[in-house]
Structure 1
Amino acid sequence: MSNIKLIIEERAADIGKFMVGRLLPFRQKRMVGPFIYIDHMGPVKLSERDNFDVLPHPHVGLSTLTFLFEGSIMHRDALGNEVEIKPGAVNWMTAGKGIVHSERTPEYLRDSELFMHGLQIWVALPKDLEQMDPQFSHITENEIPRWTEGDVQFKLVAGEAFGKKSPVPVFSKLFMLEIKSKTKQTINIGNELYGESSLYILEGAIESEGNVFEPKQLLVAKDSTLCEFTIHENSTIYIFGGEPFPEERFIDWNFVSSSKELIEDAKTKWDQQLFDKIEGDDTEYIPYPVPRNFRIKS
């Protein structure tokens, strides 16, 4: 990977119950392709008195991708979906013009100790789809394309790459790859990717041009080819990216859009509790935070 442009270190962010490691957005790189938000969640041990409870909250203009390594989350949304997210599966919720969802420890685990570890990701929608009707898909682990080259295991979590396509119903050209190796190997991505790309080290290390990069780092490439790098033994990495959008994106709390006016409308609608509610989980919610001053540009 001889074309590293930027190294982004995980930064601590408080999401209520525990701290996460924030990778995107970053002041010097707001998006990588359509990926606008990436949090590394955990690993953290939750006691029987400290369950994972993210109260009902809204989104517009984006798709959320939840991918767990450990733990379990019960997803509920205003479309009526109630699905338990388990390690290796992909939870893909497209907010479009607006949706409310909650994420909680499943009832059968609420009196147990629980480890939580995974990635929470937002993918911005193309401008012409920002106001689409909300949708939801849950892709099980065995539906995700996977293949092996020597000692290296590949998994195409979302998007298209290497002549393969994930069943996750994305709305723009993107890729999210998992690469695992138990032995030290040289990997040549070549020109299989496109647009922008970045490489996240979950565990282990990679080596490029004599430099060793370790966990909690997102390496942003100058171009998508990523060229060649060495993955160390017992390593797991993720490669994110895709075609960037021609328009800038704004982000304010849980709202993403190419239009500031649409974000203001969403904020007002949430303040007045005009979003559709989650049946069976509608007695509490996360209020819009004050002050209203968080915006990014891509």
Structure 2
Amino acid sequence: MSTLIRERLKGQSHDLGDGLMIRRVLPTPSGHAIGPFIFMDHFGPLTLPATKPMDVRPHPHIGLATVTYLWQGRIEHKDALGNTQVIEPGAVNWMTAGRGIVHSERTAAEDRGHAQSLHGLQLWVALPLEHERIAPSFEHTDASALPELSVDGASVRVIAGTAYGARSPVSTLSKLFYVDARMPKGKALHVPDEHVQRAAYLLEGDMRVDGESLQLGELMVFRPGAKIALGASVDSHVVLLGGAPLDAPRYLWWNFVASSEAALEEARQAWREQRYAMVEGDAEFIPLPDDGRLTLRLEAG
């Protein structure tokens, strides 16, 4: 493996329920985060049949921010703060869980009864220690508000954070970058080097780094300080992300992230006892898993 590359991560198929299959790229058994990014689900491209809409029932989060971004389809977000927001391609839904929030993700009412194409990513960002128990909040940013620029011949959108001299208006609490880039054949895009930890995820096409091919559905993690250029041998589509390392180890169990295992147990008990504020008008919820899953420790640095 090239000395520029720290790790190559292939996602694993995972059923979110009702046959909705996604590729889960993070977390990995190695316990490595990519900057503050600790979780990554890639869903699609797929077609939801008219008879099987997306229905991720209300569920809780703590200690993280969820970041949803689409290329195809629509998803309706509802949360216990009273927010209802249908996200469409190119927009960003950023939900800060802080000390705890419940939300659902479903096919919007007006889309039910129709087949729907769906393609997107959901990432989780670990909140900095000083903010991990902040009050929960939700922010939607329209596609038109995101910076779009040409870099090295590539068409680049800055989804969140700072990259290539541009800043996304999405509110973040960590130093990070999250970029959507489309590259024509024969071009080479440099990866921002102002961030310590960086990675690339290939969605379409064929790209190479230092002579090594980046595979479809693979997250290639680069060594800190390395000068990285992504060369496209055909028209390609890639996501770049990363940022400052975690400021302390984190513990991840189900939908909960915390700096201590005691905080995880507190969150589990609160969900068992239904002490969270719930999504108004939705009596459904996802029960606490009882499948013997282990707590994953994510290392700092």
- For the aligned pair, the TM-score class normalised by the smaller chain equals over 0.9
User: Which one of 164, 167, 170 corresponds to residue 165 of structure 1?
Assistant: 167
C-alpha deviation, 1:30, in angstroms: 2.8
Map 1:36-115 → 2, pairs under 5 A? 36-115=38-117
**Structure 1 portions without partners, runs of 5+:** none
Aligned match of 1:235: 236
Aligned match of 1:251: 252
Aligned match of 1:208: 209
The secondary structure found in structure 2 opposite 1:297 is strand
Amino acid at match of 1:129: H
Amino acid at match of 1:294: L
Aligned match of 1:269: 270
Distance 1:110 1:226 in 2: 47
C-alpha deviation, 1:245, in angstroms: 1.9
Query: Are the aligned partners of 1:2 and 1:228 in contact in 2 as well (CA < 8 Å)?
Result: no
Q: Normalization by structure 1: what TM-score? A: 0.95
Please give the per-residue CA displacement for 1:240-287, whole angstroms capped at 9, x wherever unaligned: 100012311001100001011111111111111110011122x11000
Please give the per-residue CA displacement for 1:128-173, whole angstroms capped at 9, x wherever unaligned: 1111000100001010111013631111110112222111111010
Query: Structure 1 residues 160, 131: CA separation in 2 closer, same or farther (over 3 Å shift)?
Result: same
Map 1:138-157 → 2, pairs under 5 A? 138-149=140-151, 151-157=153-159
Query: Structure 1 residues 202, 29: CA separation in 2 closer, same or farther (over 3 Å shift)?
Result: farther
Aligned match of 1:287: 287
Distance 1:224 1:120 in 2: 27
Query: Are the aligned partners of 1:143 and 1:167 in contact in 2 as well (CA < 8 Å)?
Result: yes
Q: Normalization by structure 2: what TM-score? A: 0.94
Greater shift, 225-234 or 285-294, is seen at 225-234
Amino acid at match of 2:287: P
Amino acid at match of 1:109: D
In the alignment of these two chains, the number of paired residues is 296
Distance 1:167 1:55 in 2: 29
Moved over 4 A (4+): none
Distance 2:227 2:111 in 1: 41
Query: Are the aligned partners of 1:71 and 1:117 in contact in 2 as well (CA < 8 Å)?
Result: yes
**Structure 2 portions without partners, runs of 5+:** none
Distance 1:127 1:211 in 2: 37
C-alpha deviation, 1:214, in angstroms: 2.5
Q: How much identity, in percent, do the aligned residues show? A: 37
Amino acid at match of 1:73: I
